[in-house]
Amino acid sequence: MNVSKKSRGVISKITLALLIIACSEVSAQSEVKSITILLDEQKPAGCQLVGRVTGSSQDTQEDNIPYTGRLIDARNNLRNETHKLGGNTVHIRHASTSGKYEVPGADKKITFIGDAYHCE
């Protein structure tokens, strides 16, 4: 079955959103405040841009953390960076993973890049 490039992008974003929602109840760091994470194509309306933020799981020192744990770490790092800039919303512009599958010796980095906003 052939899936168009556009459909793959939509499926990828939906999968990422579901993973973030599924992990939203787990907080690995107490510093994380209430930050809204958006995956939509459009920027949030009525919000002030406060800067670009990056959240990565590469800061995790342990090699045996499962994929969902690395996903939570990357998400929490993104939320922390947004909070440091005074934002309460982050719009994810790019997400990448180099280690969804457990391949010995492979990099297991997850990275989110987004724009931090302060929304009323």
| Extents of the domains making up the chain | 5-119
Q: How sure is the predictor about 5, in pLDDT bands with cuts at 50, 70 and 90? A: low
Q: What is the pLDDT of residue 100?
A: 57
Neighbours of 32 (CB within 10 A): 16
**Helices in the chain by DSSP H: which ranges?**
5-23, 67-84
Whole-angstrom distance, CA of residue 105 vs CA of residue 116: 34
Strand order in the sheet with 89-97: 36-38, 89-97, 110-119, 47-56
The pair of three-digit structure tokens given for residue 60, joined into one six-digit string: 């995790």
Residues 15-50 pLDDT 10s: 555 455 544 444 444 444 588 898 877 888 889 999
Angle at 114 between CA 8 and CA 9, to 5 degrees: 5
Q: What is the pLDDT of residue 117?
A: 96
Q: How sure is the predictor about 75, in pLDDT bands with cuts at 50, 70 and 90? A: very high
Task: Give domain 5-119's CATH superfamily.
Answer: Hypothetical protein apc22750. Chain B (3.30.110.70)
Q: What is the pLDDT of residue 27?
A: 42
